[in-house]
Chains A and B, each alone.
Chain A
């Protein structure tokens, strides 16, 4: 008897409740639905919820509490030396016992103790499922009976059903809040643990970044250094290069599309920018690493410049291309929000189009454009794949865009990819970097939204 089977039975019970509740309402009203206070559908839902909800709640509760009980029962039955083993060893043993009970291949050697534990595990699991299922089914049937007998033409079933639905909708709306809280807590907790090992001052202002913790204590540089300044500098440089590419091209395309272009030309050019925006970042990363970086290196070599094969300029310029459509669409919105009266007045005074744009329209749209650029910067700072594939790994503190630099996002990825033990400063450092990233992008975003809002109030 599998878990899925029990769950399907319980859901089937709720469905039966729906059908029977509906039918009963129709029977009570003698097919004259006007005689009912609530439509028959609500009667169906009423019965279905009355039997389904308690059953599901009991079922889930039984499974979670049961798993805890089983685990402690198994630990109690283990031989003494295993019970005294450290946490990870014990957890490994329990996980393998579970795998064996399910018929899988355990990672550790099969010992008699493991077989005994896995058999116990299997038996207790079955018992847990049956007890939980019996409880859920019983409660569901009781709920079904009570609700079914209460049904009458005058019963106001619409209100409770709708109230429950509203509660579900509210729950969905708070999911985004929960996500934010989850991000803040998961990043914050690990960061606090990191800062208990590495002083926050050293992290924010240190100039050395070498997170490798040595295998042996007598090795050179065994402690690892966690000064994040080279990462911040690298991130800033890549972002700066990206904005150098994206800001002029994006802004001028937006000006052309908003001020000059024929509607038909616009209809053709906009999808082009949308395609550029829709290309996945991993594709841009591949493009940067395989096309742009070698081209820049060869171009540099032909004029006697040494360009690293993983250079800040390759990653930055490709990131700039990626951000062009972003800048252009936000600037387009800002330009479109400028009232036509301003343009007409300027043109009426004899100004050329160009004079109107540079002296009237752009200044009027400036707050919106600035907000758009801020959002673009925040996007560039958080961008990961392009820099992972095209910028370097070594933390160089340099102002030369032709050299390899590393960024905050690159380090998060390199620190966390692959197997990790969760207590070392190395993995915790990734969360501290994540916290910095989250705070900076959130700050930029809040400022940008504030600017847009202020500006919108002024224009309207």
Chain B
């Protein structure tokens, strides 16, 4: 027999209540953990789906081609103008003597990528002594053959639904059995510009475009941002107009990036007549966009320098400018650079404002300066994502992997700087 007052807290009903409360506690904790788990799963699916689609984009299918530069088809005075399609067809006919009629010859030509004809041409342009000789070359295969070799085309599907017909598949199998098909690393992917043909398209132009753009962005936004932050943090009087600047910077940080694109279009293109599609304009637009980020991180870095440093410098007679230039800024530099790198990483991934200022054009040539027409890495991804060809899916994913790689490196450097050089007071 227990006392009635105790019964409220230790009777069976109380025990059950407590169990329920504890169960609810466990459920709640699990749900919260589950939310984190869901976020993690999203991340894994996101990265996983891109890597699984994209890894083959770094590979290229090549075929061995034996061609004879017969003097009938090529003129020794101008080797550039030879009939290289015929040379390639004749070379392939050596391999497949049964292909003699026009349609079969056309099918044979379909095996080789346009880049293959260019490779055959370049070989003889570089060395005109080859005319009249027989040469063996590895040339890129056409996109459909590339897809077949990488297993993206279902061999069991009925012929009329397949991109590659039975005849071609038989040829490829024969080449493969003879060891005349190989899969190599696609170095061209990193060095060439855009192309209509997936097997020839590369991100070299886009990477260069992004480089010039980020250079402009950094040169404009870093000095301006640091100067603005130094003024606001160290010298600004406590006045109303200074408050307005501060509120304005915070609001500017939340303005959608596409609005900066509208600004760039109206001011840099329509008002100042700067060239369309140029990294200069993209860089300036992104500089305005990253300016608030840099100002905010720089101010945090300056706040991190203890007042005792400033007072000591003042005490030995330094002027306020000297205090900042000789002591505060050098001490805040690691965190300042960290902020700048994070701002640049943001700018590198940004694409919406660039669509507004014409950086979405199809550009084959590599840009050699900030005034050449160019595209940027994320915009290239956007363009390729729109292409219907199967071959561009893996290129898009591969380009995304390169972009993510750059971002990881930049953020890694930022973390390293923060941990290596940051002074704890």
What residues make up the interface of A, taking CB atoms closer than 8 Å to B? 158, 162, 165-166, 168-177, 179-180, 182-183, 186-187, 189-190, 248-253, 255-257, 259-260, 269, 272-273, 275-276, 278-287, 289-291, 321, 324-325, 328, 352-355, 357-358, 375, 378-379, 381-385, 388-389, 409, 412-413, 416-417, 422, 430-431, 434, 437-438, 441-442, 445-446, 449
Q: Are A279 and B46 in contact (CB under 8 A)?
A: yes
Q: Are B258 and A252 in contact (CB under 8 A)?
A: no
State whether the Cβ of B217 lies closer than 8 Å to any Cβ in chain A. no
Selected from B38, B46, B223, B262, the residue in CB contact (under 8 A) with A434 is B262
- Assembly CA distance A215 to B292 (angstroms): 43
* A409 partner residues in chain B, CB cutoff 8 A: 256, 258, 352
Q: Given A173-B232, A283-B50, A324-B42 in contact, is the A437-B256 Cβ separation under 8 Å?
A: yes
The residue among A182, A282, A354, A413 with the most chain B CB atoms within 10 A of its own CB is A282
State whether the Cβ of B73 lies closer than 8 Å to any Cβ in chain A. no
- Assembly CA distance A280 to B260 (angstroms): 17
The chain B residue with its CB closest to the CB of A416 is B356
Interface residues of B in 235-289 (CB under 8 A from A): 235-236, 244-245, 247-252, 254-260, 262-263, 265-267, 270, 288
Q: Are B403 and A175 in contact (CB under 8 A)?
A: no
The chain A residue with its CB closest to the CB of B32 is A256
Selected from B22, B53, B235, B252, the residue in CB contact (under 8 A) with A179 is B252
- Assembly CA distance A248 to B36 (angstroms): 11
State whether the Cβ of B231 lies closer than 8 Å to any Cβ in chain A. yes
Q: Are A257 and B227 in contact (CB under 8 A)?
A: no
- Assembly CA distance A63 to B179 (angstroms): 65
Q: Are B319 and A176 in contact (CB under 8 A)?
A: no
- Assembly CA distance A281 to B39 (angstroms): 16
Q: Are A177 and B356 in contact (CB under 8 A)?
A: no
Interface of B is mostly: helix
Q: Given A165-B321, A169-B227, A381-B256 in contact, is the A176-B39 Cβ separation under 8 Å?
A: no
Q: Given A183-B259, A409-B258, A441-B254 in contact, is the A272-B382 Cβ separation under 8 Å?
A: no
Selected from A165, A280, A328, the residue in CB contact (under 8 A) with B351 is A280
- Nearest Cβ in chain A — how far from B423, in angstroms? 21
> Lowest 8 A-B CB distances belong to which pairs?
A382-B256, A280-B349, A186-B266, A172-B227, A252-B35, A256-B32, A384-B352, A169-B231
The chain B residue with its CB closest to the CB of A176 is B249
Q: Given A253-B36, A442-B251 in contact, is the A354-B352 Cβ separation under 8 Å?
A: no
The chain A residue with its CB closest to the CB of B348 is A280
Q: Are B263 and A269 in contact (CB under 8 A)?
A: no
Q: Given A176-B295, A354-B29, A378-B254 in contact, is the A278-B345 Cβ separation under 8 Å?
A: yes
* A281 partner residues in chain B, CB cutoff 8 A: 349-352
- Assembly CA distance A273 to B319 (angstroms): 44
A-B residue pairs in contact (CB < 8 Å), sample of 12: A158-B319, A172-B224, A173-B236, A176-B295, A273-B39, A278-B349, A278-B407, A281-B350, A358-B28, A379-B254, A385-B351, A446-B251
The residue among A170, A172, A249 with the most chain B CB atoms within 10 A of its own CB is A172
* A187 partner residues in chain B, CB cutoff 8 A: 259, 262-263, 266
- Nearest Cβ in chain A — how far from B264, in angstroms? 9
- Assembly CA distance A328 to B36 (angstroms): 10
* B314 partner residues in chain A, CB cutoff 8 A: none
- Assembly CA distance A257 to B257 (angstroms): 30
State whether the Cβ of B228 lies closer than 8 Å to any Cβ in chain A. yes
Q: Given A382-B258, A384-B258 in contact, is the A287-B263 Cβ separation under 8 Å?
A: no
- Nearest Cβ in chain A — how far from B223, in angstroms? 8
The chain B residue with its CB closest to the CB of A186 is B266
Interface residues of B in 40-95 (CB under 8 A from A): 40, 42-43, 45-46, 49-50, 53
- Nearest Cβ in chain A — how far from B287, in angstroms? 10
Number of A-B contacts (CB under 8 A): 246
The chain A residue with its CB closest to the CB of B49 is A291
State whether the Cβ of B355 lies closer than 8 Å to any Cβ in chain A. yes
Q: Given A176-B248, A276-B39, A282-B382 in contact, is the A354-B24 Cβ separation under 8 Å?
A: yes
Interface residues of B in 180-230 (CB under 8 A from A): 223-225, 227-228, 230
- Nearest Cβ in chain B — how far from A219, in angstroms? 28
What residues make up the interface of B, taking CB atoms closer than 8 Å to A? 21-22, 24-25, 28-29, 31-36, 38-40, 42-43, 45-46, 49-50, 53, 223-225, 227-228, 230-232, 235-236, 244-245, 247-252, 254-260, 262-263, 265-267, 270, 288, 291-292, 295, 319, 321, 345, 348-352, 355-356, 360, 378-379, 381-382, 385-386, 393, 396-397, 400, 403-404, 407, 411
Q: Are B319 and A162 in contact (CB under 8 A)?
A: yes
- Assembly CA distance A357 to B25 (angstroms): 10
Q: Are A249 and B393 in contact (CB under 8 A)?
A: no
- Nearest Cβ in chain A — how far from B209, in angstroms? 15
Q: Are B258 and A412 in contact (CB under 8 A)?
A: yes
Q: Are A278 and B249 in contact (CB under 8 A)?
A: no
* B244 partner residues in chain A, CB cutoff 8 A: 177
Q: Are B42 and A183 in contact (CB under 8 A)?
A: no
- Nearest Cβ in chain A — how far from B402, in angstroms? 11
Selected from B255, B382, B404, the residue in CB contact (under 8 A) with A389 is B382
- Assembly CA distance A438 to B251 (angstroms): 11
Q: Are B25 and A352 in contact (CB under 8 A)?
A: yes
Q: Given A249-B38, A324-B42 in contact, is the A434-B259 Cβ separation under 8 Å?
A: yes
* A253 partner residues in chain B, CB cutoff 8 A: 32, 35-36, 39
- Nearest Cβ in chain A — how far from B365, in angstroms? 14
- Assembly CA distance A282 to B385 (angstroms): 9
Q: Are A287 and B270 in contact (CB under 8 A)?
A: no
- Assembly CA distance A457 to B33 (angstroms): 32
* B262 partner residues in chain A, CB cutoff 8 A: 183, 186-187, 412, 416, 430-431, 434
